[in-house]
Amino acid sequence: MTRTRLVAGNWKMHGNRAANAALLDAILRGQGGDASAECAVCVPFPYLAQVGERLRGTAVAWGAQNVSEHAQGAYTGEVSAAMLADFGCKYVIVGHSERRQLFGESDGQVAAKFAAARKGGLTPILCVGETLAEREAGRTEQVVGRQLDAVLSSSSFGDAVLAYEPVWAIGTGRNATPEQAQAVHAFLRTKVPSETCILYGGSMKAANAAGLLAMPDIDGGLIGGASLAAEEFLAILRAAGSIRVTT
């Protein structure tokens, strides 16, 4: 069985209409319809219409970075899974460490968001990851296991995507070594369906992608900073597409 290879950009709170148009054009030019690895961009809510319109009918998918756990109602400022599906989203990032740390999302809330995304027909990209203090205390598996188990206790994983994103590597320029990442991916793989695509995220860029993607349990990347530069992003996509993983 061949697992899907996926490279997903997480634009975070960056972009404007002109910059988005230029970035999407450059990605589409460079990607050239090559489907050896799947490609997606997860963009801020206001740009979903623009991005969906530009990418419809292309080999690049799109998604959001957050979703409400509620289906509808009096939840000012929130966006439901059905609304995202209405804009043609395939993916939604759930449980990113910035949501957990800066916006206080609990394991239980992340699990509810995951369930809402699945129910709404979206493919969640569930993020798990430990802080530096947790790694140094030898608690990495305990932490990522707890984060994943919270989701699995209320939902089947289905065809969701899992992303291992060590907090100490996000936006710091300091990536996990291929061996450090592989060890955690192998642990996570024991808990999810064997065909699950498990991404690595945390300062993945053109220069380190090939080494990380060569690991047997690293199926792609969730890319923050490097997804805003078309050439960097495309180089990661090419690295993912050139390495096939067979289970």
Show which residues are catalytic: 96, 165
Residue closer to ligand PGA by CB (options 1, 102) is 102
Helices (H), the chain: 17-31, 48-55, 81-86, 97-102, 107-119, 132-136, 140-152, 178-189, 206-213, 230-242
223 contributes a contact to ligand PGA by CB under 6 A: yes
Residue closer to ligand PGA by CB (options 70, 169) is 169
Residue closer to ligand PGA by CB (options 82, 228) is 228
* Segment contacting ligand PGA by CB under 6 A, of 70-78, 114-122, 218-226, 234-242: 218-226
Q: Is 148 exposed, middle or buried (0-12, 13-18, 19+ CB in 10 A)?
A: buried
Q: What end-to-end distance do the CA atoms of the chain give, in Å?
A: 5
203 contributes a contact to ligand PGA by CB under 6 A: yes
Q: Count CA atoms within 13 Å of residue 233 on its CB side.
A: 29
Among 202, 208, 230, 240, binds ligand PGA (CB under 6 A): 202
* Segment contacting ligand PGA by CB under 6 A, of 25-33, 99-107, 201-209, 229-237: 201-209
41 contributes a contact to ligand PGA by CB under 6 A: no
Q: In 3D, which of 110, 155, 103, 153 has the Cα closest to residue 128? A: 110
Q: Are 164 and 147 in contact (CB under 8 A)?
A: no
Range 149-178, binding ligand PGA (CB under 6 A): 165, 170-171
Per the listing, tokens 């947790």 go with 134
224 contributes a contact to ligand PGA by CB under 6 A: yes
What DSSP assignment string belongs to 57-105?
A: TSSEEEEES---SSSSSS-TT---HHHHHHTT--EEEES-HHHHHHS--
Range 50-69, binding ligand PGA (CB under 6 A): none
Range 1-30, binding ligand PGA (CB under 6 A): 10
124 contributes a contact to ligand PGA by CB under 6 A: no
Range 225-244, binding ligand PGA (CB under 6 A): 225-226
Rounded to an integer, what distance in angstroms lies between the CA atom of residue 213 and that of residue 240? 6
- Binding residues (CB under 6 A) for ligand PGA: these are 10, 165, 170-171, 201-204, 222-226
